[in-house]
Amino acid sequence: MSIEFDVDGAVATITINRPEARNSLDPEHNSLLAEAYQRFQADDALRCAVLTGVGNSFSAGADLKKLIPVVRETVLDDTAEPWVMGGMTMVAEAGKPMIAAVNGHALAGGLELALACDFRICVPQATFGLAEVRWAIIPGAGGTQRLPRAVPVGVATEMILTGDPIDADAALRHGLVNRIVEPDELLGETMRVAKVIASRGPVAVRAAKEAIQTGLREGLAAGLLAEQRLLAECMRTEDAAEGPRAFAEKREPVYKGR
């Protein structure tokens, strides 16, 4: 039982390995996932990450028997801090890109983890849901905010208020996932996309992600201003000189992230 951290070139794969509990997070695994997330973000050699799970569940979210009671106790004692799944669901700044390889059920906090990634690729058997109202609580790790930004508001509202999940086909139809691939192709396809992202200019990738998120968060006018500021920052980098030079010399660029 662990949170696995594997590196392939500039791509990290973070795997939730608790299949006997549908990859739900107890306090220990929630902390271990947060450590893995921070390790990825802090390592300049890593440019993209894949988040996945073992078995037929991506993650069932917070362990209802072990983690939720701890959170409730802190609320009742007025010592509660912001509720964070795996150290990543309350993060609003851009950071480095992450892709969710959804190998099965992504439910409650598991869906919130997937939503905290930049986009999602899944298997046909995957399901997606925020079931918290069934247990008389609400999504508290970004679900009420990120899901309406990922799918039509009406779809998100129905999912949140009923607690009922949707299947992979509906997720694809509503734009919650980018594509559906067979289980034996999931990691290979997700890694292929991650390696493409990792091969691009790392400063530009992070700047583009920041521009996207700024526009979504603050509106078009703010997004356009952020885009111009970030473009200027990219233009000042060594990588911005290397890209056109490599194109002219008909070779692959060698980006240094500066």
Active site residues per annotation: 112, 132
Write the CA distances from 38 to 44, 69, 95, 96, 118, integer angstroms.
12, 25, 10, 11, 16
Residue 174 in 3-state DSSP? helix
| Whether the Cβ atoms of residue 15 and residue 53 lie closer than 8 Å to each other | yes
The Cα 89–Cα 150 span in angstroms is 15
What size, in residues, is the chain? 258
Residue 122, φ and ψ in degrees, nearest 5:
-140, 170
Structure tokens at 8: 């392939």
Cβ 50 vs Cβ 190: under 8 Å: yes
The C-alpha atoms of residue 210 and residue 174 are separated, in whole angstroms, by: 24
